[in-house]
Amino acid sequence: MTVDDAVPSQDAAPEPTDNTAATESWPTARGPHLPDAVHRFPWMASLFAVFALARLGWGIREAGLGPTFDPWQVGQIMLFEVPSVVAILLPAALLARHPDAARRLRPVLAGTILLAVVEGLRVLSSPLEPVFEWLTPGDRAASFLVVSALAYNVAVNLLNSLGVSAIGLGLARARRSGDRAVSWPVDAVLAGLVVLIGVTGVVSVGRLPAGQLPMTPTVLGFIVSTVVLNVVSATAFGYLAAVTTAGLRAAEQPIVVWRLGAFGSWLVVGSLAALGLVGIIQATPESAELTNNVVLAIEVVFSLGFIGVLAAFAVGLPRLDPLERPDEASDDLPMTATDAD
In a domain, 2, yes or no: no
CA distance 234 to 239: 9
In a domain, 35, yes or no: no
In a domain, 237, yes or no: yes
In a domain, 188, yes or no: yes
In a domain, 21, yes or no: no
pLDDT at 333: 40
CA distance 183 to 40: 39
Per-residue pLDDT of the chain (341 residues; tens, 9 = 90+): 444 444 444 444 444 444 444 444 444 334 444 454 555 678 899 999 999 999 999 998 888 776 777 788 888 889 999 999 999 999 999 999 999 999 999 999 999 999 999 999 999 999 999 999 999 987 777 777 899 999 999 999 999 999 999 999 999 999 988 888 889 999 999 999 999 999 999 998 877 766 666 777 888 888 899 999 999 999 999 999 999 999 999 999 899 999 999 999 999 999 999 999 998 887 788 888 888 999 999 999 999 999 999 999 999 999 887 644 444 444 434 444 434 44
pLDDT at 48: 96
Total domains in the chain come to 1
List phi, psi (to 5°) of 125.
-60, -35
CA distance 151 to 156: 9
**Which domain does 100 fall in, by range?**
41-206+215-321
**Burial of 212: CB neighbours in 10 Å, binned 0-12, 13-18, 19+:** exposed
pLDDT at 208: 73
In a domain, 265, yes or no: yes
Q: pTM for this one?
A: 0.81
Report whether 108 contacts 170 (CB < 8 A): yes
CA distance 171 to 108: 7
Write b or e for each residue in 314-325: b if 16 or more Cβ atoms lie within 10 A of its Cβ, otherwise e. Answer: bbbbbbbeeeee
Region of 316 on the Ramachandran plot (φ > 0 left; ψ -120 to 50 alpha; else beta): left
pLDDT at 273: 96
In a domain, 260, yes or no: yes
In a domain, 20, yes or no: no
